[in-house]
Structure 1
Amino acid sequence: MTRIAVGGFLHETNTFAPTKATFADFQHGGGWPAMTEGADVLKVMRRINVGLAGFVDAADANGWGLIPTIACGASPSAHVTEDAFERIVTVMVDGIAAAGPLDAVYLDLHGAMVTEHLDDGEGEILRRVRGVIGKNVPLVVSLDLHANVTPEMVAHADALIAYRTYPHVDMAETGRACARHLALLLKTRQPLAKAFRQLPFLIAISWQCTNDFPTKGIYDKLAALESDAVPTLSFAPGFPAADFHDCGPSVFAYGVTQDDADRAADAIVKLIESHEDDFDGKIWSPDEGIRHAMELAKSATKPIIIADTQDNPGAGGDSDTTGMLRALVRNKASAATGVIYDPVSAKAAHAAGVGTTVTLSLGGKSGIPGDEPYTETFIVEKLSDGRFVAPGPYYGGREMEMGPSAALRIGDVRVVVSSHKAQLADQAMYRYVGIEPTEQAILVNKSSVHFRADFEPIAEKLMICAAPGAMPADTATLPWTRLRPGIRLKPNGPAFNPPSR
């Protein structure tokens, strides 16, 4: 039987964000399944939209024997603590070392992890795994579309394969793609040539959506370039909030010959660079956006849906800023918004009970400049223990654990408040506290793009607003200090010059 060690360790690091990722955050998961080790990994990682789950399904079909190590993820945030990284990687690497003779290793990683002690978390993981398995055992890795791929990652892996959708509805499919590629390597026993290119400008996450031009066309072309000569080709637009040398978009190809790999990679790079002007769009201020949404809602038959993009917990925000809530109330909108992460307020709402009024200092606790707690009196409309299933295309049936939660109302604005944070990317994240999203005039979601997978079908119009938050919609406004010299801070933006010491 073919024996393959597997594991997963995912984190998207915003080095400008207010809160670090601790070991406890990975134990909980925060939108990812809770941490599992050993045989439990294969029980949890099935029939959900996660790379490792897709690989497990394909391994079963191929009759492969899997040796699971550890699987975990945490909500995007600032750096992964050294303690968390070392504890998790030790379990993974020791598990691989103890597995005995292996035919291959598959890992489900993010590709944009920065730790307290390492710029390139995934490069270090792959270096340690390669040190255990030797140079001849195939090592294949699935990556997030937002990976900031580094030369070390490319050097240590036989193949890196990135998601192709944002919203990420193909995470499990990417795991299956890794299985297909690994089957090829096991059959031919021949390594493939690698080509790796880094692009010359950062791309804000709001303009990476693969439902839209130009990204959709780029991925269509990328798929068309794959062949027997180029079994896999990836474009990672990158996560543009990690202040280190290799932050940014990249292309990586694997070919039967070096010329095959180089030609495919260069063709995609040329296409991406030709669309530099198109990676941009309209961003509304909070009041401007709310007033426009209210006007649209007068004749709409479906909700107007706004992305509160700068407080997206899927990009390192704490999901607790109040700028959009204030704009909704100030403009007397009829709307629902969420999820505001505030365990203290959620606890107070539970203590007060349904139907009561409660005065809270809601949200605003992460220290974002221009933001502060919103002190007002709210009506408690519904309470929840925070446990529910998110069946939409992004979460893909994951069991969610948001902790004690509440639906609060002020005027005609309803607010989802939780005790754990996760990106509002599923309609169930309103319904679990009794708010029916399809019946709202306006929805304001703390998300950038992932919400579109489940909300686009019920939306009259989608908009993006920028209230104060940890993930600026304009990447050129971040206080960069360590990028590689010359990379443009946004499409057609200024080139980065390292500050003089």
Structure 2
Amino acid sequence: MKVFSAFFGTETNTAAVVPTGFADFERAGVYRGDASIRDPQGFGASHVELRRLAAIDGHTVVESLTAHAHPAGITARAVYERYRDWIIEDLTAAMPVQAVVLVLHGAMVADGYDDCEGDLIARVREVAGPSVPIGVELDLHCHVSPRMLAGADAIVCYKEYPHTDTLERLGEVYRLVVRQAQQEIRPVTALHDLRMVGLWHTTREPMRSFVERMQSFEGKDGILSVSLGHGFPWGDVPDTGAKLWVIADGDRSKAQRLANQLGEEFWQLRDQTWVPPIPIAAAIDRMRATSEGTLVFADVADNAGGGAMSDSTFILRAMLEAGISDAVVGSFWDLGAVALCRSAGVGASLNLRIGGKCGPQSGDPVDVAVTVKAIVEDHAQYGLNFRWSLGTGVWVRTEGGMDIALNTVRSQIFSREAFEGLGIRLEGRPVIVVKSTQHFHASFAPLAREVLYVGAPGSITQNFAEMSYRRRDNDFWPRVANPRGTS
């Protein structure tokens, strides 16, 4: 059996000030047919895993595009169309194929395309024909559209947030399309629109148990897969919002009954599954009261993984004004500060202006006396089974003993390597502040006495009840208590 595969995506914050262009994809590496060889620890890891699974079964993989850009604003039309057309050209050249696996995001928006994934899947279907199974893996923060569901045979999204199960879900998609191609199953999908907008951490209850409940139905009584797409709240498109869908073997009514049942169960948990971030003042009080163990604070609104600029100074300024000294903070995307540190060199002391470079949502720059402790030219971290470049990384220490990480490639914090790769000690530190929403959790939680989420200002605010959309309707929870009569 010949399986065609492609990896293409980004997560679009439609209000972000920085558009997504060719350079953003090229920064992570754009590969056409050879990412599994040239970038096996980066985004080529998905193709490596597909090749491994196929080899076990005696199948072959035809590898097409691998292209990913870190979340930012709307993708330029020419960028999306070029990469999309490369996939279609490669598929046309590879025909006939017996199955297609697409690793996408689900929240990619381009100029002229509200639903990039739906457009791509439809074009793949035109080339592959009606009988070739098309399987799609999506990020958990996806917009699931009718066009996507109409074009694909099986759509599966990650179950975990943070996304620790990316390769597991890819294996799930692979097995579904292979079994369909071998005529062992006939996947049909039913969707339940939850009419909710928010974020739901699967590391705590009751979300932990709800994920396990979804999984408990899979592989039994004809149920093939259950997915809960949390949606991406900062992408303003008609299909924004949380949705739950079930894939069954040939019985759509059974799939719909289970989707509705689980959707109702999730709705009933709404007041238990969402915990709003704490204000900055409350976070500072907790930092001051720290006596033993490590408190990890997440600067959730300045998460580059949601399209923020990762240079806001609101928490840093509050910490300095409060005299918080034994702490680690980062990472700040600040090209100018890094350039000054590189020029001064390791060991130099200087007055440095940090952050606040990208507009009102970044706050004002902070001026602080620092010593340059380390400069790492090819700094990186690992997360979600991929290697993420941080460009040039710099460690500076304030006169009071606060350690601050700077970088030249905008990225959220995934792992301790973002700090430890610069030489910053984390063990035993009373306070660590990470610019991330949740993907830091798997790496940092083992260090922490407690993990706290801080509601500082920023471009990905989590005040969902006050969010207002232009492209989708505003009849959603928590903005509306009972959207469309939900009880």
Aligning the two structures, in what range does the TM-score lie when normalised by the shorter sequence? Answer: over 0.9
Q: What residue is the counterpart of 1:280 in the other structure?
A: 274
Flag the 1:9–1:468 CA change in 2: closer, same or farther, 3 A. Answer: same
Q: Counterpart of 2:94 in 1: which secondary structure?
A: coil
Match of 2:15 in 1: 16
Label 1:70 to 1:370 Cα distance change in 2 as closer, same or farther (>3 A). Answer: closer
Q: What's 1:26 paired with? A: 25
Please tell me the root mean square deviation across aligned C-alpha atoms, in Å.
2.0
Provide TM-score, normalisation by structure 2: 0.94
CA positional deviation for 1:45: 4.2
Residue number in structure 2 paired with 1:361: 353
Secondary structure in 2 matching 1:462: strand
Going from structure 1 to structure 2, the CA distance change for 1:369 and 1:48 (only over 3 Å counts) comes to closer
The answer on 1:331 being equivalent to 2:322 is yes
Q: Secondary structure at the match of 1:305?
A: strand
Q: 2:265 aligns with which of 268, 271, 274?
A: 271
Q: 1:385 and 2:377 equivalent?
A: yes
Matches of 1:73 and 1:53 in 2, distance apart?
Answer: 16
2:250 pairs with 1:259:
no
Give how far 1:222 is off: 0.6
What secondary structure sits across from 1:188 in the alignment?
coil
1 or 2 for the larger relative contact order (CA 8 Å, sep ≥6)?
A: 1
Q: Are 1:289 and 2:283 counterparts? A: yes
Alpha-carbon contact 1:142-1:174 (below 8 Å) kept: yes
AA aligned to 2:355 is: G
CA–CA distance in 2 between the matches of 1:483 and 1:7?
Answer: 29
**1:193 CA drift (Å):** 2.0
Deviation per CA, 1:143-193, whole angstroms, max 9, x where unpaired? 111111111111100000111111111001111111111222022165322
Corresponding residue for 2:232? 239
SS of 2:182 mapped into structure 1? helix
Q: Which amino acid aligns with 1:322?
A: T
> Please, which of 383, 407, 417 is the counterpart of residue 395 of structure 2?
407
Matches within 5 A, 1:100-115: 100-115=95-110
SS of 1:438's partner is: coil
What is residue 183 of structure 1 aligned with on the other side?
178
Q: Give distance in 2, aligned partners of 1:490 and 1:77.
A: 25
Partner of 1:230: 223
Residues 491 and 479 of structure 1, relative CA distance in 2, 3 Å threshold = closer
The percent identity for this pair of structures is: 26
Residue number in structure 1 paired with 2:464? 475
Closer, same or farther in 2 for the Cα pair 1:399/1:351, shift >3 Å? same
Distance 1:38 1:369, change over 3 A: closer
1:202 maps to amino acid: V
Residue pair 1:233, 1:264 contacting (<8 A) in 2 also: no
Partners of 2:26 and 2:43 in 1: how far apart?
18
100-109 vs 406-415, which moves further:
406-415
**Distance in 2 between residues matched to 1:56 and 1:447, nearest whole Å:** 32
Query: Residue type of the partner of 1:154?
Result: L
Deviations 1:314-352 (A, max 9, x none): 111111111111112111112111110011211110111
Shifted more, 249-258 versus 479-488: the winner is 479-488
Q: Residue type of the partner of 1:57?
A: R
C-alpha spacing 1:167/1:370, structure 2 compared with 1 (3 Å): closer
Does the alignment pair 1:306 with 2:301? Answer: no
Q: Return closer, same or farther for 1:432/1:420 CA change in 2, 3 Å cut-off.
A: same
1:94-142 C-alpha deviation (Å, 9 max, x unpaired): 1111112110110000111111211111111111111111111110000
Structure-2 residue corresponding to 1:220 = 212
Amino acid at match of 1:73: H
User: Matched residue of 2:446: which SS?
Assistant: helix
Alignment counterpart, residue 486 of structure 1, candidates 461, 469, 475: 475
**Aligned-partner residue type, residue 426 of structure 2:** P
Distance in 1 between residues matched to 2:461 and 2:380, nearest whole Å = 31
**Distance in 2 of aligned mates of 1:479 and 1:231:** 36
Contact 1:354 1:383 in 2 (8 A): yes
In 1, Cα distance between equivalents of 2:450 and 2:60: 48
The 2-side partners of 1:49 and 1:253 are apart by 29
- 1:162 matched to which residue of 2? 157
The alpha-carbon deviation at position 306 of structure 1 amounts to 0.1
CA 352–384 in structure 1, closer or farther in 2 if over 3 Å, else same: same
Residue 485 of structure 1: CA displacement? 4.9
CA distance in 2, matches of 1:79, 1:12: 9
1:161 maps to a residue whose letter is: V
In 2: Cα distance, 1:470 partner to 1:452 partner: 21
Which SS does the other structure have where 2:391 is aligned?
coil
Matched, 1:77 2:72: yes
State which of 100, 120, 125 in structure 2 corresponds to 1:125. 120
Distance change >3 Å, CA 362–CA 153, structure 1 → 2: same
Q: 8 Å contact 1:280–1:491 — kept in the other structure? A: no
- Give a deviation string over 1:418-441, Cα, whole Å, max 9, x none: 010111110010012110112321
State the one-letter code of the partner of 2:235.
A
1:275/1:51 CA distance change after superposition, 3 Å: farther
1:435 to 2:424 alignment: yes
CA distance in 2 between counterparts of 1:293 and 1:223 reads 38
1:253 deviates by: 1.4
Residue by residue over 1:31-69, the C-alpha shift from the partner in whole angstroms, topping out at 9 and shown as x without a partner, is xxx222113345534698965443332122222111111
Structure 2: unaligned runs, 5 residues or longer: none
- The TM-score with structure 1 as length reference comes to 0.91
CA distance in 2 between counterparts of 1:201 and 1:50 reads 33
SS of the residue aligned with 1:67? Answer: strand
Stretch moving more, 134-143 or 272-281: 272-281
Query: Structure 1 residues 370, 106: closer, same or farther in 2, change over 3 A?
Result: closer
The CA distance in 2 between the partners of 1:475 and 1:53, in whole Å, is 38
Q: The residue matched to 1:113 in structure 2 has which SS?
A: coil
State how far apart, in whole Å, the 1-side matches of 2:156 and 2:472 are: 24
After TM superposition, the structure 1 stretch with the greater mean CA deviation from structure 2, 425-434 or 371-380, is 371-380
| CA–CA separation in structure 1 for the residues paired with 2:391 and 2:157 | 32
Structure 2 counterpart of 1:143, which letter? L
Number of equivalences: 480
Structure 1 residue 25, shift from structure 2 partner: 0.7
Report the 3-state secondary structure (helix = DSSP H, G, I; strand = E; otherwise coil) of the residue aligned with 2:453.
strand
Please show how residues 86-101 of structure 1 align to structure 2 within 5 Å: 86-101=81-96
Q: Deviations over 1:2-21 (max 9, x none)?
A: 11110011211111222121
Contact 1:51/1:142 (CA < 8 Å) preserved in 2? no
Is it true that 1:453 corresponds to 2:445 in the alignment?
no
